[in-house]
Chain A
Amino acid sequence: MPEDLQHDVLIVGAGLAGMRAAIAARAGGATTAIISKVHPVRSHSNAAQGGINAALLDRGDDWEDHAYDTIKGSDFLGDQDAIEVMCRQAGASLIDMEHMGVTFNRDDEGRLGTRAFGGQRRARTFFVGDFTGQALLHVMFEQLIKSGVQRYEEWFVTSLIMEEGRAAGVIALEIRTGELHVIRAKTVIFATGGCGRLFEPSTNALIVTGDGMGLIYNAGGQLMDMEMVQYHPTTLAGSGVLISEAARGEGAYLRDKDGNRFMEKYAPNMMELASRDVVSRAEQTEINGGNGVDGCVYLDCTHLGESLIMEKLSQIREIGIDLAGADMIREPIPIRPGMHYIMGGIKTDVNGLTNLNGIYAAGECANVSVHGGNRLGANSLLDTIVFGERAGNHAADAVRSIGYADFDSNATLARERRRIQEMLDRPENGDRWGAIRKDMGDSMNRNVAVFRNEEGIQETLGDLHDLRRRYENVPVQNKAKTFNTDLIFALELGYMLDCADTIAVGALERRESRGAQFRVDYPERNDEEWLHHIVLTQGDGGPQVSELPVVITNWTPEERKY
């Protein structure tokens, strides 16, 4: 029997937040490893297109302006202490990334260039064409290589090990060989991304299945504000693939079937650059009112000119051509709101610590909370970099004074092997995971989407109950060890069902309209009763609801208009 693998700090998930955390933890002197179910550069941080926000003082910008825009964008549900931390740190983090080698677009003087983005009064979004996330992710991977952090690529975490009331490590499946391994750790940082695939359609990659949220929730952790689900205003007709907000940032218009710029009615000042929740609701209202075509409205870039599109929007142009057969240089492209991001997640403090001893979270899986009821475009990349680094730093400090938890890894491993084997041994007559996921996605997208009401949410909760029954017998058709994705998808579906429960319960609980949560039956924001976070923990009969106050420092909640 080989020795257990063992690292002071273990990061689960190798997107931007995870890699940033790993680099920080290693630099802080901790033995560090990072584990990811896909190779790091395949991570979903790639999909962030438009840019990363930062208020640079030498451009006459001010972090407090950025903080205010973020707080207003959050519909005052974001914690203002956390937002302050993020916005103060943004400039330094941005320059760090530039020094690491990110090829940011420049202005005429050769300095970092900016573009306008939704919900912000200043252009403070720094960008690399329309593939900023990809550019950052690959540079972060370069730095990860340089850092000497141990990497477990294409390893899938099947269980979190808690011992003596604190983090002890994980059990992971080496996908290529099908072997299970125990990895001991003093602290575990989850940076596993969102859970968008529990909606169908979604802009999210197929790997975005809420693994970390599910693992933490099952271990007694807190999920918070799960009802806050962002529908992005511009996803492509048909495939539902993302078309960056950068298009509107560069000046594109939204038009109804008659060519009218309908945003005049909803956000006369900011127009197409109002916050995402506002624009998505406006589009859905137009579509529902018969002013769309085939469930879509139009994104019109034709007046931007070929050279601007080729320099700054070339990738989304290519996507339009490949997947919708429409060239945005010459014609408007059909778009609609589509599920994109989850503001909610694992409740953490500003250092990434969760309510579980030795467990951290950062990035989309976490809720610090800086996005509250609605995330501003280009604040997600910033969130990953700032809070990934903080979690890594804090974990590296913490492990100096603690040892490894003691447990019998052979017994732990044997239990996990039996659990997996029982899944493989199930009879093959039940619904496969694909059908269950599809039904879940349809139900969520029907009832827990842009517009919600009690009746619909209750229907989905009923659906989820039935789906869980079906899931308990889900067969795994593939019995092999080598690269058995069938088994992994079946495991992921369990996490998605957990997350879906908490989203639906949170949406039912919040009887008001705030940010991305719009209750047709409670159409107003109600600060008297609902200016607080909704916390969900696992109970016997499903998610248990409790509440936490919103942290308010300098900015008093006010009416939100764009």
Chain B
Amino acid sequence: MDVTIRVRRQDPEAVDERRLPYWQDYPVTIADNATVLDALIQIREDDDGTLSLRCSCRSAICGSCAMRINGHAGLACKTIANTVIQDGVITVEPAGVMPVVKDLVVNFDLFWEKIEAVDPYLKHIGREPEGEYIVSNDAMLHLSSVTACIMCGACVSDCTVLEVDPTFLGPAALAKAYRFTADPRDGDDEGVSMERLWALSEPTGIWDCTRCNECVQACPKGVAPMDRIMAMREQAIQAGYDNNNGARHTDAFTESVGHSGRLDELRLPIKSVGMMNLPALMDYMPVAFRAMRRGKMPPIAHKNVDNVEAVRRIFDRTQPEPAAPKVSNNSPFG
């Protein structure tokens, strides 16, 4: 099978225009069942030794070869070439968000800093048992669906928040955090990881995800980072960490729709930051003025939808009993 591999290259040492990103076409003949990585290895071995990329296991377990294939992050070794050819061409680019070192190699420093920021190791409060911890197989299987993560960075590459806000912990680190918050062996005797949930509720953490779902689509191992982030939001609220913008936003959202059947967009941000939070409210003023100038200001008088009673009945049926707060909202950990 003949195909052109169009590679986004960049050479930081070049003195000419190859310093900047450029495209290079490599026509190759590959087997029908060859992966995109097979094609790249063939180019590197037989044609162009200057092409740099990371790869090792060829079977989607080492996490080295995440890159953008036809614009979306994935593992080159897990992508069968003939499934992604478009008009005889496959485009291959370095992973996003992380800066390019050379060609398809990106700098993972930021990625690993974020992993380290979530204290990525089991922290059990109290004594370890003499033998193994007694925990259910279901709990372990559930965790294994997260520890299946191979740290390839595909989710980080395509995260739309990290693209604009490098302070966000991001999908990989937060999935890693969930691997502990959901572990019955982590935290207190009940398996509640209070300290972690408090820290994760701070800005840059679980409430900064915009739920765009890109990480879920990019992940080659089915880890679904966004779903884990949502699960941690529930864990955090359950643990009593509900006095923050994110949790209040969730509350205000629910309250508004549950009461009127639609979103009260004017009061939502106010309730999210807190009614008495004057500095944060002042920060909203420029946005409010711009919205007014462009005719996008939400109506000041919020109206119910027509059959709001039906919406309220749905809410009554689906709302769980409110959880009793377990802790104060100040950090108990100093």
* Chain B contacts for A484, CB-based, 8 A: 52
**Docked-complex contact A38 and B121, CB < 8 angstroms:** no
Question: In the complex, A135→B140 CA distance in Å?
Answer: 12
* Chain A contacts for B52, CB-based, 8 A: 478, 482-485
Instruction: List which B101-150 residues lie within 8 A (CB) of chain A.
Output: 101-103, 105, 107-108, 112, 116, 120-122, 128, 131-137, 140-141, 143-144, 147-150
Instruction: Say yes or no: is B303 at the interface (Cβ < 8 Å to chain A).
Output: no
* Chain B contacts for A507, CB-based, 8 A: none
The segment from A238-246, A265-273, A449-457 that touches chain B is A238-246
**Docked-complex contact B33 and A434, CB < 8 angstroms:** no
Instruction: Say yes or no: is B63 at the interface (Cβ < 8 Å to chain A).
Output: yes
**Docked-complex contact B62 and A482, CB < 8 angstroms:** no
Question: In the complex, A324→B54 CA distance in Å?
Answer: 24
**Docked-complex contact B60 and A238, CB < 8 angstroms:** no
Q: How near does chain B come to A207, taking the closest CB pair, in angstroms?
A: 5
Question: In the complex, A112→B134 CA distance in Å?
Answer: 8
Closest to B120 in A: A142
Instruction: Say yes or no: is B88 at the interface (Cβ < 8 Å to chain A).
Output: no
**Docked-complex contact B61 and A482, CB < 8 angstroms:** no
* Chain B contacts for A318, CB-based, 8 A: 60
Question: In the complex, A485→B112 CA distance in Å?
Answer: 22
**Docked-complex contact A138 and B137, CB < 8 angstroms:** no
Question: In the complex, A58→B129 CA distance in Å?
Answer: 14
Question: In the complex, A178→B101 CA distance in Å?
Answer: 12
**Docked-complex contact B132 and A129, CB < 8 angstroms:** no
* Chain A contacts for B251, CB-based, 8 A: none
Instruction: List which B185-222 residues lie within 8 A (CB) of chain A.
Output: 185-186
**Docked-complex contact B147 and A482, CB < 8 angstroms:** no
**Docked-complex contact A322 and B80, CB < 8 angstroms:** yes
Question: In the complex, A111→B136 CA distance in Å?
Answer: 8
Contact of A106 (CB < 8 Å), options: B54, B103, B120, B137: B137
Whether A109 touches B134, Cβ cut-off 8 Å, given contacts A145-B121, A480-B11, A485-B52, is yes
Closest to B116 in A: A145
Question: In the complex, A242→B41 CA distance in Å?
Answer: 19
**Binary contact readout B295-313 vs A (1 if CB under 8 angstroms, 0 otherwise):** 0000000000000000000
Closest to A41 in B: B151
The segment from A95-103, A252-260, A381-389, A540-548 that touches chain B is A95-103
Q: How near does chain B come to A76, taking the closest CB pair, in angstroms?
A: 33
**Docked-complex contact B13 and A241, CB < 8 angstroms:** no
Main secondary structure of the interface of B (DSSP, over half): loop
**Docked-complex contact B59 and A105, CB < 8 angstroms:** no
Q: How near does chain B come to A474, taking the closest CB pair, in angstroms?
A: 11
Instruction: List which B16-52 residues lie within 8 A (CB) of chain A.
Output: 33, 35, 41, 44-46, 48-50, 52
Q: How near does chain A come to B81, taking the closest CB pair, in angstroms?
A: 12
**Docked-complex contact A480 and B13, CB < 8 angstroms:** yes
Q: How near does chain B come to A154, taking the closest CB pair, in angstroms?
A: 9
Instruction: Say yes or no: is B271 at the interface (Cβ < 8 Å to chain A).
Output: no
**Docked-complex contact B48 and A46, CB < 8 angstroms:** no
**Docked-complex contact B58 and A206, CB < 8 angstroms:** yes
Instruction: Say yes or no: is A477 at the interface (Cβ < 8 Å to chain B).
Output: yes
**Docked-complex contact B49 and A432, CB < 8 angstroms:** yes
Contact of B183 (CB < 8 Å), options: A47, A101, A112: A101
**Docked-complex contact A110 and B56, CB < 8 angstroms:** no
Q: How near does chain A come to B110, taking the closest CB pair, in angstroms?
A: 14
Question: In the complex, A327→B178 CA distance in Å?
Answer: 31
Question: In the complex, A435→B133 CA distance in Å?
Answer: 52
* Chain A contacts for B128, CB-based, 8 A: 99
**Docked-complex contact B80 and A482, CB < 8 angstroms:** no
**Binary contact readout A67-108 vs B (1 if CB under 8 angstroms, 0 otherwise):** 000000000000000000000000000010011110111111
Instruction: Say yes or no: is A128 at the interface (Cβ < 8 Å to chain B).
Output: yes
**Docked-complex contact B56 and A106, CB < 8 angstroms:** no
Contact of A110 (CB < 8 Å), options: B54, B61, B135: B135
**Docked-complex contact B59 and A483, CB < 8 angstroms:** no
* Chain A contacts for B60, CB-based, 8 A: 318-319, 322
**Docked-complex contact B137 and A105, CB < 8 angstroms:** yes
Q: How near does chain B come to A317, taking the closest CB pair, in angstroms?
A: 12
**Docked-complex contact A95 and B33, CB < 8 angstroms:** no
Instruction: Say yes or no: is B282 at the interface (Cβ < 8 Å to chain A).
Output: no
Whether A131 touches B46, Cβ cut-off 8 Å, given contacts A142-B122, A482-B101, is no
* Chain B contacts for A111, CB-based, 8 A: 131-132, 134
**Docked-complex contact A482 and B33, CB < 8 angstroms:** no
Contact of B11 (CB < 8 Å), options: A98, A134, A482: A482
Whether A103 touches B11, Cβ cut-off 8 Å, given contacts A110-B135, A142-B120, A206-B55, is no
Instruction: List which A10-46 residues lie within 8 A (CB) of chain B.
Output: 38-39, 41-44, 46
* Chain A contacts for B166, CB-based, 8 A: none
Closest to A319 in B: B59
Instruction: Say yes or no: is B157 at the interface (Cβ < 8 Å to chain A).
Output: no
Contact of A485 (CB < 8 Å), options: B44, B133, B135: B44
**Docked-complex contact A325 and B134, CB < 8 angstroms:** no
Q: How near does chain B come to A516, taking the closest CB pair, in angstroms?
A: 23
Whether A105 touches B50, Cβ cut-off 8 Å, given contacts A135-B147, A480-B13, is no
**Docked-complex contact B102 and A482, CB < 8 angstroms:** yes
Contact of A176 (CB < 8 Å), options: B101, B131, B135: B101
Whether A323 touches B59, Cβ cut-off 8 Å, given contacts A110-B134, A478-B49, A480-B50, is yes
Question: In the complex, A207→B61 CA distance in Å?
Answer: 13
Instruction: Say yes or no: is B78 at the interface (Cβ < 8 Å to chain A).
Output: yes
* Chain A contacts for B132, CB-based, 8 A: 95, 98-99, 104, 111-112
Question: In the complex, A311→B145 CA distance in Å?
Answer: 10
Contact of A129 (CB < 8 Å), options: B12, B55, B135, B144: B144
**Docked-complex contact A483 and B44, CB < 8 angstroms:** no
Q: How near does chain B come to A528, taking the closest CB pair, in angstroms?
A: 43
Q: How near does chain B come to A54, taking the closest CB pair, in angstroms?
A: 11
Instruction: Say yes or no: is A146 at the interface (Cβ < 8 Å to chain B).
Output: yes
**Docked-complex contact B50 and A113, CB < 8 angstroms:** no
* Chain A contacts for B144, CB-based, 8 A: 103, 105, 128-129, 131, 135
**Docked-complex contact A42 and B62, CB < 8 angstroms:** yes
Instruction: Say yes or no: is B276 at the interface (Cβ < 8 Å to chain A).
Output: no
Question: In the complex, A478→B13 CA distance in Å?
Answer: 12
**Binary contact readout B155-182 vs A (1 if CB under 8 angstroms, 0 otherwise):** 0000000000000000000000000100
* Chain B contacts for A205, CB-based, 8 A: 56-58, 62
Q: Can you sample 6 A-B contacts with CB below 8 Å? A: A38-B54, A38-B62, A47-B59, A101-B185, A145-B121, A205-B62
What are the nearest 3 A-B pairs in CB distance?
A434-B45, A477-B49, A101-B122
Residues in A lying within 8 Å of B, measured CB to CB: 38-39, 41-44, 46-47, 58, 95, 98-101, 103-113, 128-129, 131, 134-135, 138, 142-143, 145-146, 176, 205-207, 238-239, 241-242, 311, 315, 318-319, 322-325, 432-435, 476-478, 480-486
Add 5 more A-B contacts to A134-B148, A206-B57 (CB < 8 A): A41-B150, A42-B63, A206-B58, A322-B60, A324-B33
